[in-house]
Amino acid sequence: MSREGVHRVELTTREREILLLAVEGRSAPRIADHLHVTPATVNTTLLSSFHKLGVRDRAAAVAVALESGLLE
């Protein structure tokens, strides 16, 4: 996805929060514990962010979000 395309993406506060924790290498269960939600909620939120960012996995989502400045 081009950098311009990503700038039009609006991540929710929760999506940004989860991606920031994913940047630290935390697993879905660890993220869930930290945020006091279920791992299923974390995975659903990650999938939503993948869709918005046009990627298929966590590593790509983190890379695109960091490169585009969405996690600042």
CB 2 within 8 A of CB 57: no
Q: What is the pLDDT, as a whole number, of residue 7?
A: 53
Separation of alpha carbons 18 and 28, rounded Å = 9
42 backbone dihedrals φ, ψ, rounded to 5°:
-60, -50
Assigned token pair, 42: 């974390």
Angle, alpha carbons 55-58-30 (nearest 5°): 155
pLDDT tens digits along 7-55: 578 999 999 999 999 999 999 999 999 999 999 999 999 999 999 999 9
Q: Count of alpha carbons within 13 Å of 67, Cβ hemisphere only?
A: 13
Q: Which domains does the chain have, with CATH numbers?
A: 3-68 (1.10.10.10)
